[in-house]
Chains A and B, each alone.
Chain A
Amino acid sequence: MGDTELELSPAQLEELQKSPSASSTSSTSSLSLPSSPSSGPRPLTSSSPSTSESLPTSSPPLDVISEGVGELSLVIDTEVAKKACQEVLQKVKFLKADGEVSSASSEPVLVNGTAHPESTDGGKPPKISQEEAELVKNVRRRQKNNSSKQSWLLRLFESKLFDISMAISYLYNSKEPGVQAYIGNRLFSFRNEDVDFYLPQLLNMYIHMDEDVGDAIKPYVVYRCRQSINFSLQCAWLLGAYSSDMHISTQRHSRGTKLRKLILSDELKPSSQRIRREVPQPPPSCPPPFHHGQGMSEHSLSPSKRTHQRSKSDATVSISLSSNLKRTASNPKVETSQDEDLSSSSDSLELEAGTPVRLTPQREFIKSLMGIGKRLATLPTKEQKTQRLISELSLLNHKLPARVWLPTAAFDHHVVRVPHTQAVVLNSKDKAPYLIYVEVLECENFETSSVPVRIPETRIRSTRSVENLPDCGITPDQRASSFSTVPNYDNDDEAWSVDDIGELQVELPEIHTNSYDNISQFSVDSITSQESKEPIFIAAGDIRRRLSEQLAHTPTTFRRDPEDPSAVALKEPWQEKVRRIREGSPYGHLPNWRLLSVIVKCGDDLRQELLAYQVLKQLQIIWEQERVPLWIKPYKILVISSDSGMIEPVVNAVSIHQVKKQSQLLLLDYFRQEHGNYNTEEFLTAQRNFVQSCAGYCLICYLLQVKDRHNGNILLDSEGHIIHIDFGFILSSSPRNLGFETSAFKLTSEFVDVMGGLDGDMFNYYKMLMLQGLIAARKHMEKVIQIVEIMQQGSQLPCFHGSSTIRNLKERFHMNLTEEQLQVLVEQMVDGSMRSITTKLYDGFQYLTNGIM
């Protein structure tokens, strides 16, 4: 397959041609590549296999590379870059010449959709190979020759259209070490977030592909590991997970395992000098990795810290007055810990000092979460699981705050508290996935910002108790010299009680103060004005009415069901939950307080979920780019090992199963209950949301062949969107491998009813959206395929079972159909899905065997 590497996807080519910079025939030296570090010759030559082999023990080659990036990103040396690229291309041609005879065989890729230069590729290479000898000298001349494929490639690499997706694609397809090395270096120029998206692909290539690819990738990975704990851990987890399919004996010595060990050994930490040098010149988009002294400033600004400190010192004063103490505060350990904390945070360069526990806290945090999941799985009932979960988490709480974070979050933070009573066990037969809410404090950088100070659960009390302590102004001398009873003051009780009443009223804002509620107002009035003896009369009917009205006005909540504890928790609107938890949290008053949630899965392989997430995300981007208003919600997946991980929960969404079970309504009636009657704006909005999400997920289900679509795996959110979850059966795998879910996707009559019936405008809109979505997806098929294809390398995942996974996937994009034909196809699929549930299974079978699409 020597040709594949030079192939441009239709979309790429189209863009390349449209792009003004690319279509100008002037020489490429005029191209400005602002984001490109323009790899110099040195990185390229250093990419020979031998150099990076020595990486685990010493880091010189890395230094070279990382420093090179730093320098070059300031001065864009297009000449050097171009020259490097040419060298690469030259090598490519040598290779091509060698393999020409064998690899000139037919190319199966579908290129007949639109006409583009590649259709003539077959004839070019021989010509080039003849000119081969002159090539080096005639680079300039050849570059002007636009029809040359090499020139396309070079220009593509250097153009600003060359994005990470293409880079990954060429890295995967190219067999040429030079190209691979070039791309390995180009990785440094992409934004971190962009590369992070393809991290599973990069690492899977690193593990399962040949050495050259690995060598090209490694410097980048190592560089990023040095920069970020989070990246290090992500890499380590992914490396572990994707190595797990190898045979145990090869696995032990594989590159992936070695790199994982290196990362976990924590040798990849930034050394002090290098940080300093890199600080002024970070890649433009990534935040400066270290803020010197920032930890300090944040520390002193933290209000909690201040109050805490003050109360502490008050205590110290009052006690030390009352008696001679060796240790002043309530507990000696508290004091010392604070001192340590102060000293460590004032030394904001703690990382450079080489703290041995750079990765450990987070690893332990994850480990304890997984441990909980394992232990829960042994308990027989939901109720026991829930109780155990709560108690385990309350223990975990003792260890927080700490320098730990949730990797699924989009911002830097420290976890400060797990509101343990809010956690719920999710529905699962034999595993025990659970959902926890996590209170975090947002911070500038979780590696350098100081860890927040612990605030006791009963925050207000503790500060209050100290301030109100009776004045213990007796000197020890007095006490010792005279045993006379000291004049009595009223003991502790009065001291607290007064404030407590005030606190009672201040602390808890009246919930639901609605206009009907004047009773409490009355009672307050009557207390304050005792003089007015005029009795106040109220009607019993009013009380009764208020009661029923208030109950009716509360938003529809689900009943508590011990067998399904998560239903209630998930039904509660997210904002409401955040407000409620914030009120009850000792950290809630801090401005940077945030609430996150995460599902901890233990015993489940989330690699397929991650793959599905990537595909969904890619399609979402494509549809957005092509302005197709399809709505899907890819949720983040964190693979920790091949049998554990975390999932970012979809908020404000409950499963359709729960909806139906709790409400006992048809979906359409539930929509009306939640959003109002047919013609209200709310209902129409919800209906549109439903249609757009339904169309999106129908396409997803078709393209990815998502199976096991029962109502427990489809969520409905508060705006009317549906969200499919659980991608355990995709591509080549289906439950029990029986093809009973033969329809292209799940479309029940209830769904159609919500869309307004088969003849409604919305249903037509639904089909139209699907067609547009399919056309858009087809245009960018390569981007989708490559995500899946790379992950197939070395994988034993059931979704890759068989040999035709990728081919079948490609076929589902129907590159060969015209748009009219596609429209027919969509109609057929919708029809088929409708019929497969309305007709009997037998009919469905008939339908399939007769080969009618």
Chain B
Amino acid sequence: MSQTEKRAGLLRRTSSSKKPLKEKVVLMYEDIFAEEPTKSNPRFWDELFLMKVNLEYLEGKLESLDGDEVLRVKDNINSLFQHCVQALAEEHQIKVVNALQTLCALFRGVHQKNRSATGFDIINMLMGFDKAELRMKELMESLDALLCGDGSQSLKSLCLKLLLCLVTVTDNISQNTILEYVMINSIFEAILQILSDVSSRAQHGYDAVVLLALLVNYRKYESVNPYIVKLSIVDDEPTLDGMGRVIHHALAEYNRQYKEKEEENQGGFFSTLTSMVGSMFIADADEKLSVQTNEAILLALYEAVHLNRNFITVLAQSHPEIDIATTPAVPVPASPLTPLGTTPPSLDMMNNPELPLDPNLQTSNLLITFLKYSSIVMQDTKDEHRLNSARLCLIILTCIAEDQYADAFLHDDNMNFRVNLHRMPMRHRKKAADKSNPSRPLVCAVLDLMVEFIVTHMMKEFPMDLYVRCVQIIHKLICYQKKCRVRMHYTWRELWSALINLLKFLLSNETILLSKHNIFQLALQVVNLFNMFITYGDTFLPTPSSYDELYYEIIRMHQVFDNLYCMVLRVSTNAGQWKEPASKVTHALVNVRAIINHFNPKIESYAAVNHISQLSEDQVLEVVRTNYDTLTLKLQDGLDQFERYSEQPREAGFFKELVRSISLNVRKNVSLSTMSQDVLLKEFSSIS
């Protein structure tokens, strides 16, 4: 990214009308870069922070310094930094505001200047190496005090912006050495406090959550990150719930925007046209529908789900879909936030956040919103961003599917929800009427989403790893059902036919796919899913007839399995890199083949005896039912075992890249000047 562009983004407001006429503050900056500023004016520092900050000038100046100048003015910059930190403790709020903004300019300017420089050099230039630890300690303590104090909300907002700015000054967060001090002087508690409080959460929740997600990713794999440790043990429900709500809100907002655009596009003439002409225009429509995805929030959700086991409960915490922003941020009555029901509950019972009474509001929870979000994101995985988002969604779902508690509520028969997943408009199917969608346990929605993904992504740019994750998620859910004997009334048939179609696709595109992917791994997983149903179906299928249907589906599509068998047999007999994976698939197919070989002759003879050319479904089922007893199956090992998700080492690269892209994005969007000086002045003039 170019610097000009960035600056433009940063300074859009202030840069408009500033012309040669030099402001007082610029003169003062010049003093700093020229000489010992206090020499001419002993009250220089006092005055400086009363001046409105000129970010543009300051950053530009810092960037333009060359090596010699840096050495010369280093002491002055150190001094400026020191005075900024001191000013944070000032009572005069204007000074605090200006100091915060100056600090931000300092961090940015110095980093812009020294792209290639080591972290030590930067620290040295800003604070002086010997003082660094002390300065940063003071800085973090001041920020913590500001964030936790009762002060102005705008100030808190600025503090968070400064922190975001500091965290994202480097492209690779792990190379940002200054963060080492943020690790030592933790602001974790301040972030939690913001999230636990209703009003502050509404205003700063988003920034706080993003900040936390980024901090957790600092040197995640190389050292002990205290934020990881702390995040993993948070068990205060209001706080976790607050975090969940911030994420929920962000995702729901995305869903809403998407839906609005979708409706816009479908209005009137256009929609009739699309439906008439077919899918030609749909590609266009999709382009328009792309709303910027929000990986930062998704990362936060991932870290919360992955690191903190108590957060899982938040996923199921149902509440009506409310817009956090629109709920009036009424300052919570003086009573401090009640710590977990141990205080007299009267206090918190009384300010029970009453849910708005709107019959049209669907009750929702974070998981439902997340599933909807995923369904949108997964529709289009062509562009890199969305592919990554989809991948992250599937990783999160993997973590959820592995969690015992999450599985419990996913399968809870008493928690039924309508989840309207977004479905990609496709030529060969009509857009399902959403209203008919029944209320079901949440696991059905997850399975629906997986099925939807499977049927909609059989394309040339085959997202192999997403498919693998997808099938793994299904497998994990079924393992839970088998173990706990949960019988879901799910239309398993849709899943079976989707899986068989997937195998079909793999077969027909064998040559193209094999050049890039190990398709045998995926085929093995799919076949093993069938093996789960065949050998353990008695433990989790809802009815005996669903077991019959499974056989029917296999027999009906036996061609696919036959072809698969031929293919894997061929590959496994040839020497080559795929020999072993292919032979695994041959072994896995033994039961499917046994079924096909057992029933096909029976069906044929039935047809012959009864002189029917084409058997109806019921007739086939009848044959199946009467011929079970002569069929012997082989019990395969380890069908209900799975490898648990682990971020390291497999996903480390993905997350590094993800965090890098998030950092760039956040840096681009953090704008200190969004809050105009006027607003601040107005707010603080009365105070001071």
Contact = CB atoms under 8 A, between A and B. Distances in A.
B538 interface: yes
Given A483-B177, A491-B220, A331 B192 contact: yes
B232 interface: yes
B635 A536 contact: yes
Interface in B296-353: 306-310, 312-313, 317-320, 337-346, 348-350, 352-353
Given A395-B353, A479-B183, A536-B634, A402 B341 contact: yes
Interface string B203-244: 000000000000000011111101011101111111101000
Contact of A537 (B350, B633, B646, B647): B633
A543 B535 contact: yes
A331 B236 contact: yes
B544 A504 contact: no
A462 B223 contact: no
B635 A421 contact: no
Contacts of B318: 387, 390-391, 394
A492 B180 contact: no
A526 B342 CA distance: 50
A488 B221 contact: yes
Contact of B637 (A453, A488, A519, A527): A527
Question: Which residue, B181, B631, B647, has most C-beta atoms of chain A within 10 A?
Answer: B631
Contact of A398 (B220, B237, B595): B237
B679 interface: no
Interface in A19-44: none
Contacts of A523: 635, 637-640
Interface string A335-349: 011101100000000
A538 B337 contact: no
Nearest to B148: A332
Nearest to B234: A330
A524 to B, nearest CB: 10
Given A361-B345, A461-B310, A511 B226 contact: no
A10 to B, nearest CB: 52
B438 to A, nearest CB: 8
B541 interface: yes
Contact of B644 (A324, A469, A474, A493): A493
Interface residues of B, number: 112
B610 interface: no
Interface in A369-401: 371, 375, 378-380, 383-384, 386-388, 390-392, 394-395, 398-401
Interface stretch (B7-15, B410-418, B615-623): B410-418
B635 A508 contact: no
Contacts of A387: 318, 362-363, 416-417
Given A391-B318, A461-B309, A398 B629 contact: no
A401 B404 CA distance: 24
A456 B241 CA distance: 12
B222 A421 contact: no
B184 A319 contact: no
A31 B572 CA distance: 104
A379 to B, nearest CB: 5
Interface in B152-191: 177, 180-181, 183-186, 189
A422 interface: yes
B310 A457 contact: yes
Given A461-B309, A493-B645, A539-B633, A330 B230 contact: yes
B226 A538 contact: no
Contacts of B235: 330-331, 334, 456, 462
Given A511-B484, A527-B638, A399 B349 contact: yes
Nearest to B412: A421
A403 B639 CA distance: 49
B345 A402 contact: yes
Interface in B618-672: 628-635, 637-641, 644-648
Contacts of A365: 345, 349
Contacts of A360: 344, 346
Nearest to A493: B646
B224 A486 contact: yes
A546 B633 CA distance: 15
Interface residues of A, number: 116
Contacts of A386: 416
Nearest to B365: A391
A326 B309 contact: no
A375 B353 CA distance: 13
Question: Which residue, A380, A390, A462, has most C-beta atoms of chain B within 10 A?
Answer: A390
Contacts of A380: 359
A395 B352 contact: yes
Contacts of B312: 458, 461
Interface string A453-473: 110111001101110011010
Contact of A338 (B193, B342, B641): B342
B320 A492 contact: no
B439 interface: yes
Interface stretch (A75-83, A213-221, A547-555): A547-555
B637 A479 contact: no
Contacts of B237: 398, 456
B357 A340 contact: no
Given A364-B346, A486-B223, A398 B341 contact: yes
Given A479-B183, A519-B536, A394 B317 contact: yes
A305 to B, nearest CB: 11
A584 B408 contact: yes
Contact of A462 (B133, B310, B339, B640): B310
Interface in B356-370: 357, 359, 362-363, 365
Contacts of A466: 233
Given A323-B186, A395-B353, A457 B405 contact: yes
Given A319-B229, A469-B229, A490-B648, A480 B180 contact: yes
Given A462-B310, A547-B538, A479 B186 contact: no
Interface string A292-318: 000000000000000000000001001
Contacts of B226: 319, 322-323, 472
A551 B544 CA distance: 8
Contact of A327 (B189, B310, B338, B416): B189
Contacts of B308: 465
Nearest to B317: A394
Nearest to B144: A326
Given A367-B349, A421-B415, A491-B220, A456 B239 contact: no
A543 B635 CA distance: 12
A465 B647 CA distance: 17
Given A361-B345, A469-B232, A544-B547, A323 B536 contact: no
Contact of A540 (B346, B439, B633): B633
Given A361-B346, A399-B345, A493-B648, A544 B224 contact: no
Question: Which residue, A398, A486, A522, A537, has most C-beta atoms of chain B within 10 A?
Answer: A398
A480 to B, nearest CB: 6
A503 interface: yes
B255 interface: no
Given A402-B345, A497-B646, A333 B337 contact: yes
Nearest to A485: B222
Contacts of A483: 119, 177, 180
B379 to A, nearest CB: 27
Nearest to A507: B404
A562 interface: yes
Given A395-B352, A584-B408, 16 more contacts: A323-B184, A331-B239, A361-B345, A384-B363, A398-B238, A456-B235, A456-B313, A461-B310, A472-B226, A480-B184, A485-B219, A538-B633, A538-B635, A544-B628, A548-B544, A562-B416
27 contacts: A319-B233, A337-B342, A357-B346, A390-B415, A395-B352, A399-B352, A400-B345, A402-B345, A421-B414, A458-B405, A462-B235, A462-B309, A469-B232, A469-B233, A472-B224, A479-B184, A508-B483, A519-B535, A523-B639, A530-B637, A537-B633, A537-B635, A539-B631, A540-B633, A543-B535, A547-B541, A569-B414
